Amino acid sequence: MSQGEQRPPEGGHGPVDCSEALSRLFDFLDAEIDELDGDRIRQHLADCEPCLSEYDVEDHLKKLVRRSCHEAAPAELHLRIRQQLTVLQIQVDERG
Ligand SMILES: [Zn+2]
């Protein structure tokens, strides 16, 4: 049907490109992808600052945290996300 289908990220070892990184960023932030994929996306974001700022990650985080306040452990989720971001910022900082 669709010819422009993207190849599945699973099983790939190469770096992700901007569109893949951004499209999977939500999953990454939600920690709903496995460690290997998460690592590749984190790697890209660390290399590609425009992705970070363009996607308004922090704004998304606020919404995510607010949404999850409805559920069990917002503090834990918030902490986990902050850890992810901190790691990203440290990596970007070290490279810059
Ligand atoms: Zn990028």
Written in H, E and C, the secondary structure of 16-68 is CCHHHHHHCHHHHHCCCCCHHHHHHHHHHHHHCHHHHHHCCHHHHHHHHHHHH
90 or 6, which is more confident: 90
User: What are the pLDDT digits (tens) for 26-43?
Assistant: 777 777 788 888 888 888
> What is the predicted pLDDT for the residue at 60?
65
For the CA atoms of 86, 91, 93, 96, what is the dihedral angle to 10 degrees? -160
Over 60: is that where the pLDDT of 5 sits? Answer: no
- Ligand 1 centroid–CA 75 distance in Å is 29
- Cα 45 to ligand 1 centre (Å): 6
- Note the pLDDT tens digit of each residue in 59-91: 666 666 666 555 555 667 677 777 777 777 777
85 CA → ligand 1 middle, Å: 16
CA distances, 33 to each of 29, 40, 41, 73 (Å): 9, 11, 10, 19
User: Whole-structure pTM over 0.85, yes or no?
Assistant: no
